[in-house]
Amino acid sequence: MKYSIKDERLAEKGEHLLKWAEDHMPVLMSIKKRFGSEKPLNGIQIVACLHVTKETGVLVRTLMAGGADVALTASNPLSTQDEVAAALVKDGANVFAWKGQTKEEYYDCIKKALAFEPQITMDDGADVVTELHSGGYKKLRVIGGTEETTTGVVRLKAMAAKGVLKYPIIAVNNAETKWDFDNIYGTGQSTIDGILRATNVLLAGKTFVIAGYGHCGKGLANRARGMGAHVVVTEVDPMKALKAAMDGFEVMQMRQAAKVGDIFVTATGNKNVLTKEHAAVMKDGAVLANTGHFNVEVDVKGIIESAKGRLKMRDYVEELTLVNGNRVYVLADGRLVNLAAAEGHPSEVMDMSFANQALAAEYIFNNAKKLEPTVYDVPKEIDSHIAKLKLETMGIKIDKMTKEQEEYVKGWSEGTE
Ligand code: ADE
């Protein structure tokens, strides 16, 4: 089967969404233009497991302009924009994704995409690499892959450390032009967007509890503060906790935060961060959401089991009445709230993330023979090139060091004058 999507008739709407994204992704569009004339990925089969959004659509078009064939599957059962999936099928991509997949359908789609036998894989969460390493795929022709997110990089580094990773991976997530923007500003804005679209609650004056103060938690904390919320951070890492405290946020243990919070968001990359024990001491009406990659951060199943009543209040909002009579509201089944209830990160930040993806694919193709089966950072030249291009498209000019200054920063002999 060549594709499996919700409805091909949505293609025209998808085209409009893609056009909107293209207009807001100038760096990726300049790469698309070059790929169109140079065809650096000619004849390469790419299997991408990414959130099927309008921004991913622009990436897929860029890869196809470069000569690649693309099979696309979703990296989350709730994140697919069905209109975009339809438009991409019309373009000739093999898309296996629709919004609202079951777990079985989700993995089935990954398997269908993998039947195209990729030479390059693109992951957001490492589900494709994991599936390819599961033993069912004997003759791999993969020359390399890329990984979009922190959770995926952690999984892949664990595989490399154990010596089981079979091919090189470029950690797109770890490029400065990715995580200093996408993870911070993208997650910050889109998580709030998801919570607001789902609930329309007022943030001003609320106590907004964020579990995890990595790049994503930090971005979210700043945006929540900007909307007038009182932000509380919980952490397990002393360094991050210290940073949160000195950035002016209140830091405490979750068992304390559970009693005072109005809105809770997990951004940890870990599991069972919010549990039924926490829910049991929460205020009536507390809102629980997750913005980490997997749906294991909030123990939704445990909280449901401990509840005496369950009601779908509105799209992406489930009311759970606890035995003490208090109600908690779980958003998007504990899946990524920004992609399930909203549209994910804005195009402007995905512009840099996906420029890294496109250039990393080209780099893998050109350097496959030199690469070992381990996890690599995006080469510095690519990262800096993207930063320069982004600044240019924003019309921002920066200074250049004089010859004298260049010598000065390289030298060691000049000190106090
Ligand atoms: N991850 C977060 N936001 C995204 C988006 N808009 N498109 C693809 N992946 C994303």
pLDDT at 238 over 70: yes
Instruction: Tell me whether residue 398 is in a domain.
Output: no
Instruction: Assess if residue 173 is contained within a domain.
Output: yes
- Rounded average pLDDT over 196-202: 98
Select from 250, 285, 254, 286 the least CA-distant residue to 268: 254
Nearest CA-CA partner of 257 in 290, 286, 285: 286
Same domain, yes or no: 140 and 193: no
Q: Indicate if 318 and 192 belong to the same structural domain.
A: yes
Domain boundary among 309, 340, 371: 340
> Both 166 and 218 in a single domain?
no
Where do runs of H (alpha helix) occur along 24-66?
A: 26-38, 54-65
Ligand 1 close to Cβ of residue 41 (< 6 A) = no
Ligand 1 centroid from CA 55, angstroms? 7
Closest ligand 1 atom to the C-alpha of 345?
Answer: 3
In a domain, 407, yes or no: no
CA of 71 to the centre of ligand 1 (A): 18
Same domain, residue pair 158 and 193: no
Q: Is the CB of 56 under 6 A from ligand 1?
A: yes
Element (H, E) at 328: strand 327-331
Assess whether pLDDT exceeds 90 at residue 136: no
For residues 189 and 342, the answer to whether their CB atoms sit within 8 Å is no
381 shares its domain with 280: no
Q: Is 293 in the pocket of ligand 1 (CB under 6 A)?
A: no
| Residue 401 belongs to some domain of the structure | no
Distance, CA of 266 to CA of 359 (rounded, Å): 31
Number of domains in the chain: 2
345 pocket-lining for ligand 1 (C-beta < 6 Å): yes
pLDDT bracket for residue 1 (50, 70, 90): low
- State whether the beta carbon of 350 lies less than 6 angstroms from ligand 1: yes
CATH number of the domain enclosing 97: 3.40.50.1480
**Whether 370 and 296 share a structural domain:** no
Shared domain check, 311 and 379: no
Are 131 and 216 in the same domain? Answer: no
Mean per-residue pLDDT of the chain: 97
Same domain, 216 and 159: no
Number of H helices, E strands in the chain: 18, 15
Does residue 139 register a pLDDT over 90?
no
Same domain, 115 and 81: yes
**Model confidence at 160, in pLDDT bands (50, 70, 90)?**
very high
Regarding whether 190 and 313 lie in a shared domain, the answer is: yes
Q: How confident is the model at residue 255 (pLDDT cuts 50, 70, 90)?
A: very high
**CA–CA distance from 43 to each of 39, 46, 113, 362, 366 (Å)?**
9, 10, 17, 12, 14
Task: Encode pLDDT of 266-299 as tens digits.
Answer: 999 999 999 999 999 999 999 999 999 999 999 9
Domain that holds residue 260: 184-340
Kindly state whether residue 210 falls inside one of the protein's structural domains: yes
Which residue has a Cα nearest atom 8 of ligand 1?
A: 51
HEC readout, 229-258:
CEEEEECCCHHHHHHHHHCCCEECCHHHHH
Report if residue 406 sits inside a domain: no
Residue 194 pLDDT greater than 80, yes or no: yes
Query: Measured from the CA of 343, which atom of ligand 1 is nearest?
Result: 6
Per residue in 18-28, pLDDT tens?
999 999 999 99
Do the domain assignments include residue 404?
no
Check pocket membership of 51 for ligand 1, CB cut-off 6 A: yes
Cβ count within 10 A of residue 155: 22
CATH, residue 296: 3.40.50.720
Does ligand 1 come within 6 angstroms of the Cβ of 318? Answer: no
- 411 within some domain: no
Please give the average per-residue pLDDT across 87-91, as a whole number: 98
In this structure, are 126 and 190 located in the same domain?
no
Count CA atoms closer than 13 A to 213's CA, side-chain side: 25
Q: Say yes or no to pLDDT of 343 above 80.
A: yes
